Structure 1
Amino acid sequence: MTIALSDPTVRTPASAALHAKVAKYALLGLALLAYPLVASDFFIVQIGAQTLFMGTIALSLMWLGGYGGMVSLAQLTFAGVAAYMIAVFGVSNKPELSLGWEWWAAIPAALIVATAFATLTGMLAARTEGIYTIMITLAIAVAFSLFCRQNYAIFNGFAGFASLRPPAPFGLDLRAPLPFYYLCLAFAAGAYAGVVYVTRSTFGLALQAVRDNPRRMRAVGFNVYAHRVAAYAMSGLLAAIGGLLLAWFNGRISPGSIAAGPSINVLVMAVLGGMAHPVGPYVGALVFILLQNFAIDLIDPERFNLVIGVAFLVIVLASPDGLVGLWRRLTARRSGGPST
C-alpha cells in the first residue's frame, strides 16, 4: 500500500525537528515560569533575575559579534546610559537633578537616548575592523565612565543616583522578588525572540553575509556601513533594556557600575556561553553569576578574577564556541549525528 505525499499524518524529518524544537522551547518556558515558585528569594533575584538581565546585555554583544562580526566592549556603557537616563528623566534621590517624569515617559526616553548613543558609537566603530574596533569601543566605555565620575551637573559625579525604583502599575510592587523576576523574564524573552526573528529576516541574513564577506556584499550593491551601524543601534536597544533592569535591581547607578572591569565581564559572559546562538549569553551569565555568588565561599574573594579566568580558559580551550557549542557536540555524538 502506498501513502500519498500530502498525507498530513506523515511527518518529514524537517517537521519532526520543528516539533522537537517547539517542545524544547515549551519545556524551557515552563521551567522558567515555575522556577520562582520553588526557589528562595535569594535564588529568585540574585541568581534568576540577575542572570536574565545580565544575559540580555551579553545578548547585545552576541548579536554584534556572532551575527555582525564586530566585538564591542561598550555594551555595558549603552546599558549605563539607559540607567543614567532613567534617573535623569524619572525619580531619584536627587530631585534637583531628576526631572520627575512619569515612568511611561521616562522609560521610552531612556531607551531612545541609549539607542542613539549606540548608533553614534556604531558610526565611529563601524569604520574600523578587528582590534581597532575593540579599542575604539573600550575607549568610549572608559571615557563615558570617567565623564560620569567627573560631571556633577547631570550625572552627580562619583556618587551617581540612588533610590531608583521600577514602576508600580496598578499598585504592583515590581521590586518584590516574584514580580521583578517575571519582569526580567518578560524582557529577556522579548529580547531573545527579537534577535531570533531579526536574524532570519532579510536584514539579519544580509548582516551575516556582511560578516562573512563584506567585499562581495559591496560589489552586489549592499551598503555595508549602514548595515553595521544598524546592528549597533539594535545592540544598543537590547543593552538599554538590560540597563534599566540593572538600575532597578541595584536601586542605583554610579560610574563604578559601568567601569572597564564590569564591561569586560559582559564579554566573558558572552564567550563563556557561546557566540553562535542567542541562548549562549544567558548560559554564560548563569555560570558567571553562580561563580560570583558561591566561589567566595571556597576561596579568598580577592581571587575571584583568578577563578573566572581559569574557568574562562578551560571552557574556551575545550570548546571555542562556548558551553552551548560543547553541549551541541555532546548531544550530536550521542545521537550519532554530525558533531558540527
Structure 2
Amino acid sequence: MPEITRAAAPQDSRLWVERIPPAYWIVGVILLIIPSFASDFVMFQIFGWTFILGMIATSLMFLGGYGGMVSLAQMTFAGVAGYMVAIFGDSAITNISMGWPWYITIPLALLIAVIFATCIGWLAVRTEGIYTIMITLAIAAAFFYFTRQNYDIFNGFQGFNSVLPPRLFGVNWRGPEAFYYLTLFWAAATYFAVLYISRAPFGLALQGVRDNPRRMAALGFNVTAHRVAAYAFSAIPAGLGGILLTWQSAQISPGTVGIQPAIDILIIAVVGGMRHPAGAFIGAFLYVILKTFAVDVLIALGLSGDRFQLLIGLGFLLVVFFSEDGLLGLWHKLRASRARDPLTGERRS
C-alpha cells in the first residue's frame, strides 16, 4: 500500500502542474526576467508602484468582489501599517520613532492595521450601499486630519522621513532590482492568497452572504461575523502594501492617506475589474502609466498638466460605460464574442 501511494504522488503532482493555465506561466516568466532588460526607473517606479497599489486595490477587490462591500478606507488601513512601521521602527524623527527591530515592528504594524480594520468593519457592516461608502469615507477623512494635526505621535503634516527597509542578508532592499523582486514576491503572495481564500469555505460563505444574506443566516451562518472577518483579512494585503509604499518613498505623511489616494484605490479596483484579483493589478498598472507619463504628454500637447485628473476621470467613465466589470469584463466580452458564430450567435465547438 505505501508503494502505491509513493507511485501516485508524482502523478498527482504532474496533474496539479498541468492545471495551471499557460497564461500564468507566461506572465510569471516575463515578470521574473524583466530586470534583465528594464531600467532602474521602470523596475522601481513603474512596476514597484504597480505591485504596491495592486496589493492595496486587491484588498478592496476582496471586499467588493467577494463580499459585496465597497470601502474607501483601504488606503487608511495601508497608512496605519505604514505609520506604525515609522513609529515603532527607525526614521529621521528620532524623538518619536522607537527604533525597534524589524521582526517586531512589521508584525506589530500589521496586527494594529488588522485590529483597526476589524473595528471599522464592525461599524461599517451594519449599514449598506451608500451609507457604507460614506462611513468608510468619513473614517478616511478623520484619520487624515488626525495625523495632520497630531504632532506627538504622527508628527503632524510633516510625517516621517528616512523610513527605510531593514538591510537583510547584506542586501539593500530599496535598490531598484531588489525592491522589484521584493514587491513582486508580496504581490504574488497576495494574489494567490486571495484566490485561495475565495475558494476556501470562508470565501465561499462570504460570497453566499454577498448574494443572499437572509438565506445564509437561515442556514446558520453568522452574516455579521463573516463580513467583519472580511474587513480584518483585507487589512493584511493593504497593510503590506502600506509598508512597502512607505519604504519606496522612504517617508509617510498625511498626504499618503488623504481622500484623493483613497478614491484612487477605488478607481484602480473598478477600472481593472472587481471579479478577479488580476483586475486590481491591471488597474494599478494603467493608473501608474497614466500618472507617470500623462502629465508630460499633456504638456507636450500644450495643455495644463493639472488636467491629469480629468484624463483619469474620462478613462474611468469610458471603462465603466462599456463594462460593468472594468477591463477584465471587456476582455471576457471579447473572448465570448470570438467564441460565438457571427451568423448564428451560437457557441463554436
Same fold (TM > 0.5): yes
Q: Which residue of 1 aligns with 2:105?
A: 106
TM-aligned CA deviation for residue 19 of structure 1: 3.9
Structure 1 counterpart of 2:331, one-letter code = W
TM-aligned CA deviation for residue 105 of structure 1: 1.1
Measured in 2, the distance between the counterparts of 1:311 and 1:270 equals 13
Q: Which residue of 2 aligns with 1:214?
A: 213
Structure 1 residues 98-107 or 329-338, which shifts more? 329-338
Matched, 1:276 2:269: no
Structure 1 residues 224-233 or 42-51, which shifts more? 42-51
Measured in 1, the distance between the counterparts of 2:36 and 2:74 equals 32
Query: Alpha carbons of 1:326 and 1:87: their partners in 2 closer, same or farther (altered >3 Å)?
Result: same
Q: Which residue of 1 aligns with 2:4?
A: none
Structure 1 counterpart of 2:143, one-letter code = F
Structure 1 residues 326-335 or 261-270, which shifts more? 326-335
Q: Which residue of 2 aligns with 1:170?
A: 169
Measured in 2, the distance between the counterparts of 1:91 and 1:186 equals 24
Structure 1 counterpart of 2:320, one-letter code = V
TM-aligned CA deviation for residue 20 of structure 1: 6.7
Structure 1 residues 218-256: Cα deviation after superposition (integer angstroms, max 9, x where no partner): 111110000000000011111001000100011100001
Structure 1 counterpart of 2:332, one-letter code = R
Query: Alpha carbons of 1:338 and 1:52: their partners in 2 closer, same or farther (altered >3 Å)?
Result: farther
Measured in 1, the distance between the counterparts of 2:192 and 2:42 equals 25
Structure 1 residues 178-226: Cα deviation after superposition (integer angstroms, max 9, x where no partner): 0000000000010011000000000000000000000111111110000
Q: Which residue of 2 aligns with 1:4?
A: none
Matched, 1:291 2:295: no
Q: Which residue of 2 aligns with 1:159?
A: 158
TM-aligned CA deviation for residue 23 of structure 1: 1.9
Matched, 1:22 2:21: yes
Measured in 1, the distance between the counterparts of 2:236 and 2:172 equals 25
Structure 1 residues 161-185: Cα deviation after superposition (integer angstroms, max 9, x where no partner): 0001011111100010000000000
Measured in 2, the distance between the counterparts of 1:126 and 1:176 equals 41
Structure 2 counterpart of 1:335, one-letter code = A
Measured in 1, the distance between the counterparts of 2:206 and 2:34 equals 36
TM-score after normalising by structure 2: 0.90
Structure 1 residues 113-161: Cα deviation after superposition (integer angstroms, max 9, x where no partner): 1111011100100111111100000000000010000101100001000
Measured in 2, the distance between the counterparts of 1:18 and 1:306 equals 45
Structure 1 residues 121-130 or 32-41, which shifts more? 32-41
Q: Which residue of 2 aligns with 1:121?
A: 120
Structure 1 residues 326-335 or 171-180, which shifts more? 326-335
Q: Compute the RMSD of aligned alpha carbons.
A: 1.8
Task: Map 1:300-315 to 2 at 5 A.
Answer: 300-315=304-319
Measured in 2, the distance between the counterparts of 1:314 and 1:36 equals 33
Give the count of matched residue pairs. 326
Measured in 2, the distance between the counterparts of 1:338 and 1:267 equals 35
Structure 1 residues 39-92: Cα deviation after superposition (integer angstroms, max 9, x where no partner): 111111111110001000000000000000000000000000000000011000
Structure 2 counterpart of 1:289, one-letter code = V
Measured in 2, the distance between the counterparts of 1:253 and 1:297 equals 26
TM-aligned CA deviation for residue 328 of structure 1: 1.8
Q: Which residue of 2 aligns with 1:252?
A: 251
Say which SS state the counterpart of residue 25 (structure 1) adopts: helix
Matched, 1:53 2:52: yes
Which of 316, 326, 332 lines up with 1:322 in the alignment?
326
Structure 1 residues 303-331: Cα deviation after superposition (integer angstroms, max 9, x where no partner): 01100000001111111101111112212
Q: Which residue of 1 aligns with 2:229?
A: 230
Structure 2 counterpart of 1:66, one-letter code = G
TM-score after normalising by structure 1: 0.93
Say which SS state the counterpart of residue 158 (structure 1) adopts: helix
Runs (5+) with no aligned partner, structure 1: 1-7, 9-14
TM-aligned CA deviation for residue 335 of structure 1: 3.5
Measured in 2, the distance between the counterparts of 1:55 and 1:20 equals 25
TM-aligned CA deviation for residue 333 of structure 1: 2.4
Identity score, percent: 54
